[in-house]
Structure 1
């Protein structure tokens, strides 16, 4: 078994944690408020631990269920204690891993898990920095391994341990992601919200973006139109407030 490599920051015990953010999205739907377990935490390098076994069951596909090709995945780039462990993992941490690849472990919300089970190799996701001073989209990563069993659910020393999950019927899944590139400029939540409100009033691809309709969900699907709009907004020079970005979307 390959040695485990902590990839969501250090696992050392920090002396204090008095500066936790209290912003709107301080809790995702993967939080203890939703499922009774801590869910965000360290990521591990791809292929480490018990990651070779494919999950026993996939989310059921329905003919009426939308099929997505693009995603938004949230993680915390700033230090925060969870059971004495620093759960920090930002896009820069992903870049430092071997082959810039790691497993997206610790998701403990069923809908977010099911979205990961829908992911296909080669698809792309925005790396979204959450629960920090300036939340927003920092870069793009690629799905390089489709969903398989999240081994952290069985590790009693891990912040993602779930005593109710059994080895013969595991509840939780993860995917492997690889850093692809940073955005040309960071797109803050405040800018995305302005565009969302404009599209909500006049119509547009960000009208139903899950970042605002299901704000606390840590893994979210994106329509192709939303992906193109956000990518395009990243390619243009930031204009003065009276110009706005809506004409580019």
Structure 2
């Protein structure tokens, strides 16, 4: 199993969207950075993912997700009306990928960036060293440090009730 962190603005696709979707996965698409895309392409079903809220009032880790599909072609790259349209992409040579993610648990409260910066296990983590990267891998040590700092998660069954 691999560990990942994905960033999103909560009004675009946040933890509450995953809670509202129930067991139905949400397509994680629209990634238009090559390094982030390559990380996305390395995801496999069963991998664990932290959802990080960015560009909002409460910045930080909002919950845990799980990868449910292998990477596939991001259909938005072919839709001219989409913000994620890429005129250079073709069905013969697609440039961008997507995966489906589903909720594992919602953080009882956002784990803020200020707290993450204090964790010694994260000092070389891309979250702190490459702050603009929207998809990144985490080491098992980084994952465990964040999960420990999160404390208890509200599991999906609790979050929807």
Looking at secondary structure, tell me which structure has more helix per residue. 2
Kept in 2, the 8 Å contact 1:95–1:101? The answer is no
Q: Which among 88, 112, 115 is matched to residue 36 of structure 2?
A: 112
* Residue 55 (structure 1) aligns with: none
Q: Which among 99, 108, 117 is matched to residue 175 of structure 1?
A: 99
The offset of 1:97, in angstroms, is 2.4
* Residue 225 (structure 1) aligns with: 141
Q: Which among 62, 76, 83 is matched to residue 9 of structure 2?
A: 76
Distance in 2 (alpha carbons) for counterparts of 1:151 and 1:103: 10
Distance in 1 (alpha carbons) for counterparts of 2:146 and 2:113: 11
Counterpart of 1:187 in 2: which secondary structure? strand
What does 1:34-73 correspond to in 2, within 5 Å?
A: 69-73=2-6
Kept in 2, the 8 Å contact 1:115–1:220? The answer is yes
What does 1:1-249 correspond to in 2, within 5 Å?
A: 69-78=2-11, 88-97=12-21, 99-195=23-119, 199=120, 205-235=121-151
1:190-229 Cα shifts (integer Å, max 9, x gaps): 111233xxx2xxxxx2121111111100001100001001
Coordinate RMSD, CA, aligned = 1.4
1:64-112 Cα shifts (integer Å, max 9, x gaps): xxxx71000001113xxxxxxxxx2211112222633111010001110
TM-score norm. by structure 2 comes to: 0.89
Distance in 2 (alpha carbons) for counterparts of 1:149 and 1:98: 24
Counterpart of 2:122 in 1: which secondary structure? coil
Kept in 2, the 8 Å contact 1:143–1:175? The answer is yes
Distance in 2 (alpha carbons) for counterparts of 1:109 and 1:130: 16
The offset of 1:187, in angstroms, is 0.3
Distance in 1 (alpha carbons) for counterparts of 2:107 and 2:89: 37
Kept in 2, the 8 Å contact 1:143–1:178? The answer is yes
Distance in 1 (alpha carbons) for counterparts of 2:144 and 2:63: 14
Aligned residues: 152
Whose radius of gyration is greater, 1 or 2?
1
